[in-house]
Amino acid sequence: MKKLLVFLFILLAAFITKAQVNVLQIDAVGGKTQINKNIYGQFAEHLGRCIYDGIWVGKDSPIPNVNGYRKDLLEALQALKVPVLRWPGGCFADTYHWKNGIGALNERPKIKNVFWGGTVEDNSFGTHEFLNLCELLGCDPYISANVGSGTVGEMVDWIEYMTSDDNVPMANLRKKNGREKPWNVKFIGIGNESWGCGGDMTPEFYADLMRQYSNYAKMYGGDKFDRIGCGSNGSDFNWTKVLMEKGRNNMDGLSLHYYTIAGEGWNNKSSATNFGEELYFNGLKKALYMDELVSRHSAIMDQYDKDKRVPLLVDEWGIWTDVEPGTNPGHLFQQNSMRDALIASSTLDILNRHCDRVKMANIAQIVNVLQSMILTKGNQMVLTPTYHVFKMYNVHQDAILLPSSLFTEKYKHGEDEIPAISSTTSVDKNGKIHVTISNVNPTKEIKLEINLSGKAITKINSATILTASAFNSVNTFEKPETIAPVAFKNAKKLGDSKLEVTIPGKSIVALELE
C-alpha cells in the first residue's frame, strides 16, 4: 500500500508539472526523519575579532556587557536559538593549550595567534568563559581538542576538568577556579583539519592517532559526549574511506569542511561587495556543490555504516571572500550580502534534505569572521542578511522533514544554469507546516504553486520575506536595516490544499501553514 501511495504521489507531481513549470508538491503526512536542530549550529574561533570585541569585551568595558559578554550580541544570539557552538577552532585549536586559559585573568599567560595575523591574545576568554557562554545561550558546547601540538594527557586533563565530578585533581582545580558542578559538554572534536593546519597528516596516520585519542576520551569521559573524527577537506573522498575503514568504531561522528569560493580560487576569492552577476551566479553554483559532496561522502559512509550510526557533521561551511579593504588580511573580516543570504538558505536546504545522515553543521563564523551572523564596531552591532536567514529557518530545528518534489525553472547565466527555486518543508511538534523558499534569479519574479497531499490548509498563519534592492546589498553600521525580514503579502490559497506564492527575484520567503 505504501509503495502504491508513493507511486501515485510521484505520478501526480509529474502530471502537475506538465501544466505548470514551478510546482512544489508536499506529502504532508509522510514525514519520518527529524531535521536535527544542530544543523543550525555556529562556530567561534580565536580569529580576528570573533572572540575579543565580537563576543568578549570584559567586565570593565564601556560597551554594555553581561559579565564580560557583549549584551547586544547575547540578546541577538538568544533570539537566533543557537543549538550548538564550536570552539576554540579551527586552526587555532591545534595550538591551544587550555591550562593557559583558566584561573585569575591577570595571571594567564599571553599567546601569539600564529595562524591568524600574529595577534597576541591575553587568554581572558578560556574554558570557563566559553562554557558559561553556552549556558547563557542555552546551546550545547562543541570542544575541539588539540591533537596537532597537544598530547593525549592534555586532552584527558581537559575532559576531567570540564566533565568530572570525582575527587580528582582536575575536577578539584575547576572547583578551586569557581565552578563547582561540571559542565554538560556534548561534543569533543579529535583535532581539526588534521590533513592541513592541524598537523599535515595522511589519513592513515590520522586514523591511528584518532583511535588512540578517542580511546582515552571514552575511558575518561564515558558516554557524556560524542567523539568527532576529523573528516575530509571538501572532495577528498579517500580521507572518508580510510577513516571509515579504520576508525568507524572509534568515533561518534565524522566532520566535513567546505567553503564556497565565488572567484577563481583561494588566491583570488573576489570581493564581498564589489561584484556583478558573474560572481553572484558563481557563488550560488559553488554553494550547490555541497549537495554532491554530502551525497558522495554519505555513500562512502553507507558502505561501512548502513545503519547510519556515525553521522556526518559539516562543521565548517560558508562563503569565503577577500577581506574588507583596510583590514588585517589574517583577521578574515568580510561583509555579508544578499547573495550570501541566498547561499545560506540554499545550503541549509541541502543539509535539511540529507538529515538522515547529516546531524550537525557549523557555519563559519558567528561574529566578525567570514560569513558572520553579526558584525561589531565599538559599541555598534549589525545583524547580517545571513543572521536573518538563520532566524527565519530556525522553525525547522527538530521538526520532521516532509517529503516533497520541487519542479522549478532554471536561472540561466551565459551558457550555464542552476535551479531557480530551492526549498525546505517540515512539520513541527504542534502540527504546523513550515515552508521556506528561495528564488535565486536576481531579476525575475516567479510564481510557485504549492500542493499538499494528505492534509488541507486551513490558513496561512504567517508569511515573511527577505530581499534587497541589489544582490550585493549589505547592512552597514550606518544603515543596519537595509536588508531585514518584512511581512510577505503574495501568498494566497487557491483551494483546500493549494497555494500560489509569487516570489520576487533574489528573495527568501518563509510560510507557516495550518
User: For 305, phi and psi rounded to 5 degrees?
Assistant: -150, 70
Distance between CA atoms of residues 319 and 321, nearest Å = 6
Q: How many CB atoms lie within 10 A of CB 391?
A: 20
Q: Could you tell me which of 257, 465, 491 has the C-alpha nearest to residue 365?
A: 257
Closest to 421 measured CA to CA, from 494, 317, 502: 502
Given a contact cutoff of 8 angstroms between Cβ atoms, the answer to whether 146 and 95 are in contact is yes
CA 242 – CA 207 distance, rounded (Å): 7
Residue 105: count of CB within 10 angstroms of its CB? 15
Angstrom distances, CA of residue 214 to CA of 210, 446, 469: 6, 50, 50
Q: Which 3 state secondary structure label does DSSP give 128?
A: helix
The active-site residue, picked from 180, 193, 417, 445, is 193
Does the active-site annotation cover 409?
no
Strand pairing category for 120-121 and 111-112: antiparallel
SS3 assignment, position 324: coil
Amino acid at position 17, single letter: T
Q: What angle do CA 452, 455, 460 make, to 5 degrees?
A: 70
Helix (H), strand (E) counts: the chain: 10, 27
- The answer to whether 245 is a known catalytic residue is no
Whole-angstrom Cα distance, residue 275 to residue 203? Answer: 38
CA distance readout (Å), 63 to 76, 124, 381, 423: 15, 17, 11, 40
Catalytic residues: 193, 316
